[in-house]
Structure 1
Amino acid sequence: MRIATYNVNGVNGRLPVLTRWLAEDQPDIVCLQELKAPDERFPEAAIRELGYDAIWHGQKSWNGVAILSRVGAIHETRRGLPGDAQDSHSRYIEAAVNGVLIACLYLPNGNPRPGPKFEYKLRWFDRLIAHAQGLIDTGAPVVIAGDFNVMPTERDVYKPERWLDDALFAPEVREAFFRLTRQGWTDALRTIHPDETIYTFFDYFRNAFARNAGLRIDHVLLSPAIAGQLQDAGVERRVRGWEKTSDHVPVWVEIAHE
């Protein structure tokens, strides 16, 4: 079973790119981020034409997450991350699909740092860590996938010295990521490619994609109950070269799960 995550950077504006990728690669389960569309503008019909069911949590102009499946019904278990009743951002959706609990997230960017946006990012990360521990404790097979907006190590960023003041590379944020993984989560992409330079985001400016000047900020984490079924993982770089594409690339994992 192939599970993928993709920050589409505007689901309607990039719909030709999204549907082309879905048609060519046919991932079984997909997590999408940055829909940038309210619930009523989600392109459900176009996605269903490709054989996918979908659930989504939209927001006008910003944020937005969705889960797609072509391997069975999607049973939504949570919409929104617990821990802050005042948080109105559409950044988290969770569902059981084909025997696996799928958590799709879009973690806050946090810039500028310092400031209220950075503090919000740290609070959101703390809430995620608390909720993720509960998911681990269930003993269920769980996959957390999405745009985490964090480069965990220097290997995950082109010229790390240029990012020392950025919220995506801040020591507090990187430590939060490792607090999360120390619960027992497996970083699938880094497990399969421990020493390779792999990026999932390339800025539109400064010819970043052609220069391979990227960031690894999109991650797929596996709970102990499913980590042993990991067979392969990778990124689809070619999608970044398509016309009017997202600045992210799809990230995927292959799981030996029927």
Structure 2
Amino acid sequence: MKIASFNINGIKARVNALSDWLDEAQPDVALLQEIKSVDEAFPRELFEEKGYNVETHGQKSFNGVAILSRLPLEDVSRGLPGDDSDEQARWIEATVVGKEAVRLCNLYLPNGNPVELGDDGLAVPGGKFDYKLRWMDRLHARAEALLAEEMPFLMAGDYNIIPQPEDARRPEAWIGDAAHRPESLALWRKLLNLGFTEAFRSRMRGEGHYSFWDYQAGAWNRDDGIRIDHFLLSPTCADLLRDVQIDKEIRGREKPSDHVPVWVELAI
């Protein structure tokens, strides 16, 4: 089963590019982030005609996540548990059944910028960076709960985390950014230490592997990218991993997203 993650940066602007990529790449499941659309406006019929079941968790003009699956989706859940007041559409999960069942968690982790710190050096309560850190705490709690259920599962999407200096062409440019601050990286490592496998780095080493290039300052032409789109696999899911790749060339096409698809192949 081929499962892809793709921050499309707006379904309205990217519907043709997404459709073309689906036809070429033929993923069994596509986890989409930043659809920037309410559920009612998402062009589900286009993808249903391609054989996909469609589940969305949308929000007007911002955020939004969706799952497209050639196999039926069961037990769909929307919203990351832990804060009933959180209205941002950043999490959707469902179970897909191939040779065995796998829980799919599709996430769009908060960017967190600008970083707002108080005189004590801690994130200002209620600020964007504080929201990112608290969201990551909730993500950790959800991961612990899913691990206790012992079903293979993965958590994939735009994490807005640059894990290591080699995940940026110019790591010095990201010092102080919410994606690479010590607080963010500490929570990232805490999550990994639950026993997850970071799929891409389990197979690919070294510099030059990116999933995002800013639209500004000719970043794509200079290959000035960062890797912030990740697959975390539970131990039983990691046992099923057969391949992982980044579809880099998509970024050079007409009207692209600033992200490109990342995908894994599982033996299910």
Give the TM-score normalised by structure 1: 0.97
CA distance in 1 between counterparts of 2:13 and 2:49 reads: 18
Partner secondary structure for residue 209 of structure 1: coil
Q: In the TM superposition, what are the counterparts of 1:52-131 in structure 2 within 5 Å?
A: 52-70=52-70, 72-98=71-97, 99-114=101-116, 115=124, 116-131=127-142
> What is the match of residue 34 of structure 1?
34
Q: In the TM superposition, what are the counterparts of 1:185-224 in structure 2 within 5 Å?
A: 185-224=196-235
Q: 1:235 aligns with which of 238, 246, 257?
A: 246
CA distance in 1 between counterparts of 2:208 and 2:138 reads: 30
Shift in Å, 1:197: 2.5
What runs of 5+ residues in structure 1 fail to find an aligned partner?
A: none
Deviations 1:30-78 (A, max 9, x none): 10000001111111011112111110000000000011101x2111332
Partner secondary structure for residue 220 of structure 1: strand
CA distance in 2 between counterparts of 1:230 and 1:133 reads: 21
Shift in Å, 1:196: 4.3
Shift in Å, 1:143: 1.1
CA distance in 1 between counterparts of 2:186 and 2:29 reads: 29
Partner secondary structure for residue 55 of structure 2: strand
Whether the 8 Å contact between 2:169 and 2:208 is mirrored in structure 1 is no
Cα RMSD (Å): 0.9
Partner secondary structure for residue 111 of structure 2: coil
Where do 4+ consecutive residues of structure 1 move more than 3 Å?
A: none
Deviations 1:93-147 (A, max 9, x none): 0000121100000000000002500000000000000110111111111011100
> What is the match of residue 267 of structure 2?
256
> What is the match of residue 166 of structure 1?
177
Whether the 8 Å contact between 2:167 and 2:207 is mirrored in structure 1 is no
> What is the match of residue 24 of structure 1?
24
Letter of the 1:221 counterpart? L
CA distance in 2 between counterparts of 1:38 and 1:57 reads: 8
What runs of 5+ residues in structure 2 fail to find an aligned partner?
A: 117-123
Q: Which stretch shows the higher mean deviation, 152-161 or 189-198?
A: 189-198
Partner secondary structure for residue 208 of structure 1: coil
How many equivalent residue pairs? Answer: 256
Letter of the 1:113 counterpart? V
Partner secondary structure for residue 177 of structure 2: coil
